[in-house]
Amino acid sequence: MSKTFKRGRHHAAPHETAPDTERLIARLWFEPVLSFQYRCAKNDAVEVRSRSHAPLYVFCDDGWRVRMADGIHRANKGDILFLPRGGVHLVFRDEQVVPRGIEDLVRAGFRNRHGVYAVGSEHDALVAGSFFETSALMEHPLMALLPEVVHCKAGEGAGDARVVDWVRWISDLDAGNAMAMGPSINGILRMLLSRHFADPAHAVGLEAAPGRRDRQLSTAVLAMHEHPARNWTVDALAALCHLSRSAFASRFSQQFGLPPLRYLFHTRMRIAARLLKEQRLTLDQVAQQVGYSNGLALSRSFKRATGMRPRGQAQP
């Protein structure tokens, strides 16, 4: 890296996210494991039991309840609820109803188009959203700082009528555009993070973003996210943090649960997925932006990371 960032004291004004944090948020992309539209009848309640999958719910009608270990969260039209670490919870409207598991809903029948699943037919209320892999989320330095529950009320940033109406439409398998679900939910995630870290109680600059335990790694994290195409080595990343190679590698692995270059690999794959979906670039064009010589090399790495080839792109 030809330059380093001067890390002077930056204090974000109220409702303003620190610039280095905003740069990380702008590049955020996660591929949903699945997306859904759940049409809930009065006699429905769904129990989710998973720490490996993190849901983001967009509530399209009033009167919802989500029971978690810390109590009941009430949600109405326009509310957005994100559980970045997953966990056992119950989604319902009538507390007296015996809940069904997600597997029961699937066995009862569903429709699927472009990775969006529609469950239920007759309904009194509707919720849509996506599930993500918690392990992938927690590799991101800002996601790791989020609390167990992020609840955005209607009218607070990400939660407004236009967002809800859009998600309701695109998740409708008959009338909508299911292919837009992934980019739209990622857009909501970015809005949620911007709002969360703009709150003075949560505001962080990047020097705190990788985790409150080890701020010295922040320059390397930002460099990998901002310049994924560079031919990074562990030595070069360590030099940015003014650490020896061994100290940097050890501390980085402890902090993120991955060696530095493995973290870089996953970062490149997430950026590639976002570019392919949001900007409709060719594989060769994306490859150049994330440090690969050509589209074929990127395609092989993408399949190794995700088990599938990049979606919607002609393969070399």
212: exposed, middle or buried (C-beta count within 10 Å: 0-12, 13-18, 19+)? exposed
Nearest partner of 251 among 213, 209, 206, 224, judged by Cα: 213
Q: Where are the beta strands (DSSP E) in the chain?
A: 34-40, 45-48, 53-59, 64-68, 71-75, 80-82, 89-92, 100-101, 110-113, 116-119, 125-133, 150-152
Confidence of residue 271 (pLDDT cuts 50, 70, 90): confident
Between 188 and 16, the more confident residue is 188
Between 236 and 196, the more confident residue is 236
Rg (CA), the chain: 20
DSSP secondary-structure letter at 308? S
Residue 8 has pLDDT above 50, yes or no: no
Contact 39, 60 (CB under 8 A): no
Confidence (pLDDT) at 254:
86
35: exposed, middle or buried (C-beta count within 10 Å: 0-12, 13-18, 19+)? buried
User: Highest mean pLDDT range out of 53-67, 162-176, 218-232, 256-270?
Assistant: 53-67
Mean pLDDT across the chain: 80
Quote the pTM value.
0.70
Confidence of residue 54 (pLDDT cuts 50, 70, 90): very high
* Residue range 88-147, pLDDT digits in tens: 999 988 777 777 776 676 666 667 777 677 776 666 788 999 999 988 888 787 887 788
Q: Cα(10)–Cα(184) distance, rounded to whole angstroms? A: 31
In single-letter form, the type of residue at position 292 comes to Y
Nearest partner of 28 among 236, 200, 266, judged by Cα: 266
Confidence (pLDDT) at 131:
94
Q: What is the mean pLDDT of residues 195-204?
A: 72
41: exposed, middle or buried (C-beta count within 10 Å: 0-12, 13-18, 19+)? middle
CB-based contacts of 65: which residues, under 8 Å, 6+ apart?
72, 73, 74, 75, 90, 91, 92, 93, 95
Confidence (pLDDT) at 150:
92
Confidence (pLDDT) at 208:
44
Confidence of residue 247 (pLDDT cuts 50, 70, 90): very high
> Which residues sit opposite 88 in a β-bridge?
none
Between 75 and 216, the more confident residue is 75
Residue 264 has pLDDT above 80, yes or no: yes
* Residue range 131-190, pLDDT digits in tens: 999 888 887 878 877 888 999 988 765 557 788 888 988 888 777 677 888 889 999 999
